[in-house]
Amino acid sequence: MQQISIDKIKIDNTYLRLDTDVSELEKSIKTVGIIAPLIINKDFRLLAGGRRFRALRNLGHQEVPVIQVDLDEYEQELISIDENIVRKDLHKLEFEAHLCRAKVLYTEILKRDKTQQESVRAELMQDGEEIDQEILGNVEGVATEKFVKDIREKTGLSSNQIYQAMRRDEHSAPAVKEARNRGELSITHTNELIKLGEDDQEKILPLISDKTAAELKKIIKESKTNGIKAAIAMAKESKPQAREMQEIDKLLQKLVKKINMLEAENVQIEGDLFDRLQKRWHEVQASMKQVLD
């Protein structure tokens, strides 16, 4: 680790997070100093530590601690992505895209280093986990298994969550990603949609905004069995009530349990509270009558 002038550092790296709030980080640096140095390449380009860089600059530091690495382009990019993957506040779509890109980079790095390939293969075999021999027999399989293992240890996510995240990025149609970005599509719905090809995803997408996960699952199954036209017809015929009515049903179940509990304990209700509850009950009865009729 060495100290260099902050003005020497180049920040033209799209992976750097320079536009986030670093006020808490500034307080930490004032209290305990900088714990993790910045990572730069031989050309003084910042690879990791964008938030630390901004905090140090805001605090007026003229010199900053760095580790300078001499690595190829793949390894440099992997360093930049790795710091972002470990952070929990990344947008889910961005996290998924970073996972997929990092897996590609790691695979390419492993392909070029046979010694490292054998070392990773041996490590996976010694871990005691059951891994298909076909996976261990090719570099892509070995790289993916090792990559998922490392991400699992860094983030606390399960292997299944990591694989699902990468599948969402790899198999989601552009319109599906846009809908998720707007907050219109849940991860559960996306996991069902990506079972279809991208063209079929875009055809069915406009028809599922009011569908529950269970309804969507049936629609996807219909598409697999009888084709996308049959699935579209099913989606159009489905009544657009399910999600809201199921939520109401759950609320009513909770309400009944609470009322039964109060009745068992012989709780007495009097005064203003009695009047308010009676009024609300009449409102609920009238509204439910209209919905059910």
Report yes or no: 8 and 44 within 8 Å, Cβ to Cβ: yes
Task: Please tell me the distance from the alpha carbon of residue 114 to that of residue 71, in angstroms, as a whole number.
Answer: 18
Q: Which residues contact 7 (CB under 8 A, 6 or more apart)?
A: none
- DSSP letters of 173-211? -HHHHHHHHTT-S-HHHHHHHTTS-HHHHHHHGGG-TT-
- Per-residue pLDDT 10s for the chain (293 aa) are 799 999 999 999 989 888 888 999 999 999 988 888 999 999 999 999 999 999 999 999 999 999 999 999 999 999 999 888 877 556 689 999 999 999 999 999 999 888 988 888 888 888 766 777 777 778 898 899 999 999 999 888 899 999 999 999 999 999 999 999 998 999 999 999 999 999 999 999 999 888 888 889 999 999 999 999 999 999 888 665 556 777 788 888 888 888 888 888 888 888 888 889 889 888 888 888 887 77
Span 226-249, pLDDT tens digits: 999 999 999 888 665 556 777 788
β-pairing verdict for 63-69 and 38-41: parallel
CATH class of 2-70: alpha beta
